[in-house]
Structure 1
Amino acid sequence: MATAAIITLIIIGVVVLLFATDWLPIDLVAILTMLALVLTGSISAEEGVAGFSNKATITVAFMFVLSEALLKTGALQVLAQRLSKLFKQNFNLGLLLMMLLIAFISAFVNNTPVVAVFIPVVIQIAHRAGLSPAKMLIPLSFASIFGGMCTLIGTSTNILVSGIAEKEGEAAIDLFAMSKMGIIFLVIGIVYMLIFGKKLLPNRANQDLKQRFNLRSYITEIEILEYSNSVNKAIMDAEMVKDLHLDVMEVRRSENKYNQPSGDFVLKANDVLKVRCNVDKIKTLKDQAKIVVATPIKIGDDDLKGKASTLVEMVISAESELHNKTLRELDFRRRFRAIPLAIQHRESISNEGIYDVKLRSGDIILAEVKTHYVKELKRIESKQKPPFVLLSEDVITDFDKPKFSLVLSLILIMIGLAAFNILDIMVGAISCVVMMVLFKVINMKELYKAINWKIIFLIAGTLSLGTAMVNTGLDVYIANFITYQLGSYGPVAIVSGLYLTTSMLTEIMSNNASAAIMAPIAIATAHGMDMEALPFLITVMFAASATFMTPVGYQTNAMVFSAGKYTFVDFFKVGVGLNILFWIAASILIPLLYF
Structure 2
Amino acid sequence: MTIEIIVVLSIALIAVILFATEKLRIDAVALLVLTGLAISGLVSPGQALSGFSNGATITVAAMFVLAAGLQNSGALSGIGNLLGRAKSPLQFLIILFVVLAAIAPFVNNTAVVAVFMPIVMAATASIGMSASKALIPLSYVSQMAGVCTLVGTSTNLLVNGMAKDLGHPGFSMFEFTSLGVICLAAGCFYLLTIGRWLLPESRSTELLEHYELGKYITELRVMPESSLIGTSVGEAKLSEEFGVYVLELLRGNRKVWSPRSQTLEEGDVLLARGDWSQLDELRKDAGLEVNAEFKLKQRSFEEVEQVLAEVMIAPRSRVIGSTLGMLDPGWHHDTTSLGIHRRGQVLREELRNVRLQVGDILLLLLPESGMAALRKDSNVIVLSERQPQKSGGWRAPFALATMALVIGISALGWAPISIMSLAGAVAMTLAGCLDAEDVYDAIDWRIIILMAGLLPLGVAMSETGAAQFLVENTIGLVSSLGPLVVLAVLYLMALLLTEFMSNAAAAVLLTPIGMSTAGMMDVDATPFLIAVTFAASTSFATPVGYQTNTMVYGAGGYRFSDFVKVGLPLNLIFWVLGVIFIPVFWPF
Q: Return the TM-score normalized by structure 1.
A: 0.70
1:381-413: per-residue Cα shift (whole Å, max 9, x none)? 9xxxxxxx9746422632224212212222212
The answer on whether the counterparts of 1:49 and 1:460 sit within 8 Å (CA) in structure 2 is yes
Corresponding position of 1:362: 300
With 136-145 and 12-21 compared, the bigger mean Cα shift is at: 12-21
1:67 aligns with 2:67: yes
Corresponding position of 1:543: 535
Rounded to whole Å, the distance in 1 between the matches of 2:365 and 2:559 is 34
1:116-162: per-residue Cα shift (whole Å, max 9, x none)? 11112222223233333211110000010011010000000000111
Rounded to whole Å, the distance in 1 between the matches of 2:524 and 2:426 is 36
The answer on whether the counterparts of 1:483 and 1:529 sit within 8 Å (CA) in structure 2 is no
Letter in 1 for 2:582: I
Rounded to whole Å, the distance in 2 between the matches of 1:52 and 1:71 is 26
Corresponding position of 1:30: 30
Corresponding position of 1:590: 582
For residues 486-525 of structure 1, what are the structure 2 equivalents within 5 Å?
486-525=478-517
1:526-585: per-residue Cα shift (whole Å, max 9, x none)? 222222222211111101012100111211111111111222211101111011111111
Letter in 1 for 2:303: I
The answer on whether the counterparts of 1:483 and 1:528 sit within 8 Å (CA) in structure 2 is no
Corresponding position of 1:12: 12
Corresponding position of 2:228: none
In the TM superposition, residue 45 of structure 1 has moved relative to its aligned partner by: 3.1
For residues 404-415 of structure 1, what are the structure 2 equivalents within 5 Å?
404-415=396-407
Rounded to whole Å, the distance in 2 between the matches of 1:65 and 1:380 is 27
Distance 1:57 1:211, change over 3 A: same
Corresponding position of 2:472: 480
Letter in 1 for 2:441: K
Corresponding position of 1:561: 553
1:294-351: per-residue Cα shift (whole Å, max 9, x none)? xxxxxxxxxxxxxxxxxxxxxxxxxxxxxxxxxxxxxxxxxxxxxxxxxx99769xxx
The answer on whether the counterparts of 2:38 and 2:48 sit within 8 Å (CA) in structure 1 is yes
For residues 68-87 of structure 1, what are the structure 2 equivalents within 5 Å?
68-86=68-86
Distance 1:180 1:390, change over 3 A: closer
Distance 1:587 1:174, change over 3 A: same
Rounded to whole Å, the distance in 1 between the matches of 2:497 and 2:335 is 52
Letter in 1 for 2:124: A
Letter in 2 for 1:513: A
With 207-216 and 468-477 compared, the bigger mean Cα shift is at: 207-216
The answer on whether the counterparts of 1:491 and 1:591 sit within 8 Å (CA) in structure 2 is no
SS at match of 1:477: helix
1:572 aligns with 2:560: no
Distance 1:493 1:361, change over 3 A: closer
Which residue of the other structure, out of 142, 150, 172, is the alignment partner of 1:144? 142
Root-mean-square deviation (CA, aligned residues, Å) is 2.7
Distance 1:473 1:400, change over 3 A: same
Rounded to whole Å, the distance in 1 between the matches of 2:435 and 2:118 is 26
For residues 163-312 of structure 1, what are the structure 2 equivalents within 5 Å?
163-206=161-204, 210-212=212-214
Corresponding position of 2:115: 117
Rounded to whole Å, the distance in 2 between the matches of 1:579 and 1:113 is 23
Letter in 1 for 2:496: M
In the TM superposition, residue 437 of structure 1 has moved relative to its aligned partner by: 2.6
1:504-544: per-residue Cα shift (whole Å, max 9, x none)? 11011011111111111111212222222222111111010
Which residue of the other structure, out of 368, 371, 387, is the alignment partner of 1:394? 371
For residues 461-472 of structure 1, what are the structure 2 equivalents within 5 Å?
461-472=453-464
The answer on whether the counterparts of 2:131 and 2:206 sit within 8 Å (CA) in structure 1 is no
Distance 1:208 1:494, change over 3 A: same
1:96-128: per-residue Cα shift (whole Å, max 9, x none)? 221221232110111111101111222222323
Which entry has the higher C-alpha Rg, 1 or 2? 1
The answer on whether the counterparts of 1:72 and 1:397 sit within 8 Å (CA) in structure 2 is no
Rounded to whole Å, the distance in 1 between the matches of 2:474 and 2:584 is 20
Structure 1 gap segments, 5+ residues each: 217-343, 349-359, 370-374, 382-388
With 495-504 and 433-442 compared, the bigger mean Cα shift is at: 433-442
1:39-83: per-residue Cα shift (whole Å, max 9, x none)? 333223332222111111111000000101111121222112221
Which residue of the other structure, out of 148, 156, 159, is the alignment partner of 1:158? 156
The answer on whether the counterparts of 2:113 and 2:548 sit within 8 Å (CA) in structure 1 is yes
Letter in 2 for 1:394: M
The answer on whether the counterparts of 2:205 and 2:556 sit within 8 Å (CA) in structure 1 is no
Corresponding position of 1:126: 124
The answer on whether the counterparts of 2:491 and 2:531 sit within 8 Å (CA) in structure 1 is yes
With 480-489 and 454-463 compared, the bigger mean Cα shift is at: 480-489
With 157-166 and 24-33 compared, the bigger mean Cα shift is at: 24-33
Rounded to whole Å, the distance in 2 between the matches of 1:443 and 1:207 is 32
Rounded to whole Å, the distance in 1 between the matches of 2:400 and 2:299 is 48
The answer on whether the counterparts of 2:475 and 2:490 sit within 8 Å (CA) in structure 1 is no
Distance 1:185 1:413, change over 3 A: same
Corresponding position of 1:451: 443
Rounded to whole Å, the distance in 2 between the matches of 1:424 and 1:191 is 35
In the TM superposition, residue 211 of structure 1 has moved relative to its aligned partner by: 4.2
SS at match of 1:131: coil
Rounded to whole Å, the distance in 1 between the matches of 2:412 and 2:19 is 38
Letter in 2 for 1:571: F
Letter in 2 for 1:556: T
Rounded to whole Å, the distance in 2 between the matches of 1:538 and 1:518 is 11
Which residue of the other structure, out of 403, 420, 424, is the alignment partner of 1:428? 420
SS at match of 1:108: coil
The answer on whether the counterparts of 2:165 and 2:459 sit within 8 Å (CA) in structure 1 is no
Corresponding position of 1:267: none
Rounded to whole Å, the distance in 1 between the matches of 2:299 and 2:535 is 57
Identity fraction in percent: 39
1:444-480: per-residue Cα shift (whole Å, max 9, x none)? 2121111111111111112122122113211112233
The answer on whether the counterparts of 2:106 and 2:152 sit within 8 Å (CA) in structure 1 is yes
Q: Return the TM-score normalized by structure 2.
A: 0.71
The answer on whether the counterparts of 2:79 and 2:119 sit within 8 Å (CA) in structure 1 is no
Distance 1:551 1:183, change over 3 A: same
SS at match of 1:75: coil
